[in-house]
Homo-oligomer: A and B are copies of this chain.
């Protein structure tokens, strides 16, 4: 399994992430941890956590495993709209709009915590820094989605896939899920195609191209990036939008 570095309980990824995004006072962190421990759940791979149009009345925080948000057109065309990585929150505040406009499906086995709306709101009211941190989580998610729009609208297939790999790598870094220059990439090429707006065939061609140019190794669901700067250049990746600074 993954070597998680320092000991830190099931919610370690969550706190590493908040630490990189917006550090929490001890007291607030403790309150959140408490709430998380109350609502631990698990899901297998390929499970729908929530489906487009479903009512939302809780907040889910991912402790381990990958999920993705996606929407599907009537005729079956599917677009993955974001990945949800360990430490990230599925739908902070989403209950305010009653229903979700997209579906969330697990890519791997997932451990997560479910906090009911009332409990969550009580927590936010009592802990201002926590409320701000979750707000930041939502804003960051927003920023990532904007970058995806740029990716789909203005980057070539090659750049798109390269960009996605850079982003995932940088998002896994603060939660301690990269190992040297490698990280796990537990999704199929079909998923990558649906995330980059490409056909599976072309996604595969593009990955071959990335391999051929020596920028990546992708084998056994493990991504290795020899020269991250080179990959970022190839992707026209401009740092900053992720705002995950204080990471160690």
Min CB–CB distance A138 → chain B (angstroms): 6
Contact B135 A197, beta carbon cutoff 8 Å: no
Binary CB contact string for chain A from 71 to 104 against chain B (1 if under 8 A, 0 otherwise):
1011101110110000000000110110101100
A55 within 8 A of B: no
Contact B243 A150, beta carbon cutoff 8 Å: no
Given A142-B138, A145-B142, A240-B101, A197 and B153 touching (CB < 8 A)?
yes
Copies in the complex: 2
Contact B139 A96, beta carbon cutoff 8 Å: yes
Chain A interface residue number, banded: 35 or more
Contact A71 B132, beta carbon cutoff 8 Å: no
A122 within 8 A of B: no
Contact A97 B140, beta carbon cutoff 8 Å: yes
Chain A residues in the interface with B (C-beta under 8 A): 22, 53, 69, 71, 73-75, 77-79, 81-82, 93-94, 96-97, 99, 101-102, 132, 135-136, 138-143, 145-150, 152-155, 194, 196-197, 236, 238, 240-241, 243
